[in-house]
Amino acid sequence: MPLEAPLPAASERAKELNARYRHHGARDILAHALNDQLTGRIAMVSSFGAESVVLLHLLATLDRTVPVLFLNTEMLFEETIDYQRQVAEKLRLTDVRVITPNRNEMFLEDNEGLLWQKSTDACCDLRKTRPLEKALSGFDAWITGRKRYQSGTRAQMDLFEADGESRIKVNPMAHFTPETIREYMENNNLPRHPLVTKGFASLGCAPCTSRVRDGEDPRAGRWRGQDKSECGIHFENGKMVRTPVAQSGEVF
C-alpha cells in the first residue's frame, strides 16, 4: 500500500484554504475543514464554556464522530464538568476525549495544587499547554472557537492559521459577534452553562475565575488583577499571547 504524500507546510496550507473559503459562512467553513485534504487529520478543542455550545452544535450538524478534545485541568468548576457531559449527550457527540495533566509532572511540579498562587503562567503550562500539545500530536489541524471581536490581537485573525510548521488552526466562528452567538443559542434551544446566570461571563479554572460585575468586560473575571488574559494554548510567532485583561469571549 503506497504511503500518503506529506502535507505541505502549515503556512502554505493556511494560505490556500483562506483563499478557497474566505467568503464562506461558519457552517460551510467547518464543513470544508472536515473534508478538505489540506486540513488532514482534524480535531476540535472545546472548553465547554460559556459560548462553546455554538461551535459544538455546528459540528454535531455535520459529523458527530469528529474527535472533541476537552481539557480537564482538574481545577475546573464542577458545573463545567457536569455541563460537558450534558452537552455531549444532548448533541450525541461520539468521540469526546477528556485530556488531563500528566500525573508525574503534576507530582513533581504541583503536588499540593497551589502552583497557581505562585505563577498562573506555570500552572497553565502544566495543566493546559503541555497536555493539549500531546493530545494534538496526532492531528494536522484543530478547530477553535476564537472570534475576532475578542481582542486586538485577534481582530485580523484568519479563518485558517498556521500553528507551528506542520499544524493549522481553523477558526470558523472568527466573524461571529456576541449578538450572533446569543441568537444562535436561542434559535437552536441550546443549554447555557449554569454559571453564566450567576455572573460568570467567561469560564476557566475555578481559582482564577471570578464573577463579572455590572458594566465590566466579560473577560474581566479571568485572572483578575493580573496582566494576563490567555492561558497559553494560542501562540503567535512562537510566543504566548499577551493581551490586555479587559477582553471578551473565551480562550478556546
- Choose the weakest-confidence range: 22-26, 49-53, 244-248: 244-248
pTM of the model: 0.84
Closest CA to 247 of 179, 150, 155: 150
- For the cut 90, the answer to whether the pLDDT of residue 201 exceeds it is no
Q: What pLDDT is recorded for position 142?
A: 97
Q: Does domain 10-193 have CATH number 1.20.1630.10?
A: no
For 129-161, the pLDDT digits (tens) are 999 999 999 999 999 998 876 554 545 688 999
Q: How confident is the model at residue 208 (pLDDT cuts 50, 70, 90)?
A: confident
- For the cut 80, the answer to whether the pLDDT of residue 76 exceeds it is yes
Residues 6+ positions from 179 with CB-CB distance below 8 Å? none
- For the cut 50, the answer to whether the pLDDT of residue 251 exceeds it is no
Q: How confident is the model at residue 239 (pLDDT cuts 50, 70, 90)?
A: very low
Q: Which residue has the cell 497553565?
A: 124
- For the cut 70, the answer to whether the pLDDT of residue 224 exceeds it is no
For 32-44, the pLDDT digits (tens) are 999 999 999 999 9
Per the residue annotation, which of 123, 124, 208, 231 is the catalytic one?
231
Q: What pLDDT is recorded for position 128?
A: 92
Contacts 24+ apart (CB under 8 A), 192-198: 192/50, 192/53, 193/48, 193/49, 193/50, 193/53, 193/79, 193/80, 193/83, 194/79, 194/82, 194/83, 195/50, 195/77, 195/79, 195/80, 196/50
- Choose the weakest-confidence range: 58-67, 152-161, 200-209: 152-161
- For the cut 80, the answer to whether the pLDDT of residue 250 exceeds it is no
Cross-strand bridge partners of residue 99:
71
* Catalytic residue list contains 205: no
For 85-98, the pLDDT digits (tens) are 999 999 999 999 99
Instruction: Retrieve residue 6's grid coordinates.
Output: 506529506
